[in-house]
Amino acid sequence: MSDAPVLFDEVAAGSRRLGRVTLSVPATLNSLTLEMVDLLQAQLDAWRDDDDIAALFIEGAGEKAFCAGGDVQALHASATATPGGPCEYAESFFSREYRMNYTLHTFPKPLIVWGHGIVMGGGLGVMAGCSHRVVTERTRIAMPEVTIALFPDVGGTWFLNHAPGKAGLFLALTGASINAADAIYCGIADRFIGSEFKDEVFEALLSQQWQADAAHNHAMVRHVLRPFAQKSAEHCPQGQVASHLDTINALCDGDDIHDIIDNIQAIDSEDAWLSKARDGLAHGSSLAALWIHRQLVENRHASLREVFQSEIQLATNVVRHPEFSEGVRALLIDKDRNPQWQYAQSRAVPAEVLEGFFTAPWSDNPLANL
């Protein structure tokens, strides 16, 4: 077995081949590093231009996670090495990760992703960018960046803004966990298929008559996946977002972001999912809640390209600010879960401080040429 963090294979499928991608660092729940991002980008570029490759199948090693996010501890080390200034590793990671995510979103050939287990942060960025997104009974999705003073990036600005009602904003502010049914309802996934069918799905894909025409191949993938989804339907877990959408919309119907935060933090309910969402926001950074809201609102009509260009600007400013380092320290480094946030509540954040996160920190955007 290879010890490479990402495994690539080409499997014969009739007169053509399927590319198989395995994120292969189960000890870290397949969390993305810069090396993994670069490996993925290079292979995506090669397979996109290889006429013999008809489609790609993307999975995570092990049963626990597809991908639990990015290597946040490495980002923290980069941020603390040069406090307040450019963070070479972190900023390279974000710009190259977003470029890879954009490649996934715009990839012409079918990308079938098996989103089994934990799918968080950067892992959700990979899954959301694929054209045929499968979730299982063990899929657990969240973007809890508010708890480390980041924001739902890797295209989160795009797919959360496309969720029903105010669900995207609510999930972004609270870091609430969702399952397979929720992912499909929110538009982050396409089909629920029981995990026991994984090998059968892959074998069925190999047995198809692939052609050079991408549209034909996309239709073929849908033809293969549909019966497995039908056989699995009765085992799909009960979702939370659809049943709570009226409540979510009411909570997010404030005169301003401060009212919305007040509404969520005032939740008094025996509903476990809502209570946990409330606590996620309460324990998170008030400053981060403000930039999360503004990022979503200001980019609600942005193109996919503009979304990633705005995300790299915000991510660069965030990683240079001490709030991010403190959030990661408290949750993942010292693990005391007692972050010393700079502002006790959102109304204490000066307008000019928030404005600084939406001001370009360089003359040329690293993703200007997407």
In a domain, 261, yes or no: yes
In a domain, 80, yes or no: yes
pLDDT at position 48 is 97
218-246 pLDDT tens trace: 999 999 999 999 999 999 999 999 999 99
Please report where in the chains the tokens 């073929």 appear, as a residue: 220
In a domain, 361, yes or no: no
- Annotated catalytic residues are 70, 122, 145, 153
> Which residues are paired to 111 by β-bridges?
56
In a domain, 203, yes or no: yes
Question: Considering the entire predicted model, what is its pTM?
Answer: 0.96
| CATH number of the domain to which 299 belongs | 3.90.226.10
pLDDT at position 111 is 98
Helix (H) / strand (E) element for 200: namely helix 198-206
35-52 pLDDT tens trace: 999 999 999 999 999 999
* Residue 221 structural domain: 6-356
In a domain, 362, yes or no: no
In a domain, 52, yes or no: yes
pLDDT at position 253 is 98
Phi-psi region of 205 (alpha: psi -120 to 50; beta: other; left: phi over 0): alpha
User: What's the domain count of the chain?
Assistant: 1
- Phi, psi at 362, each rounded to 5°: -145, 165
Low-confidence residues in the chain, pLDDT < 70: 1
Helix (H) / strand (E) element for 111: namely strand 111-115
In a domain, 12, yes or no: yes
Of the candidates 100, 17, 16, 8, the residue with the CA atom closest to the CA atom of residue 58: 8
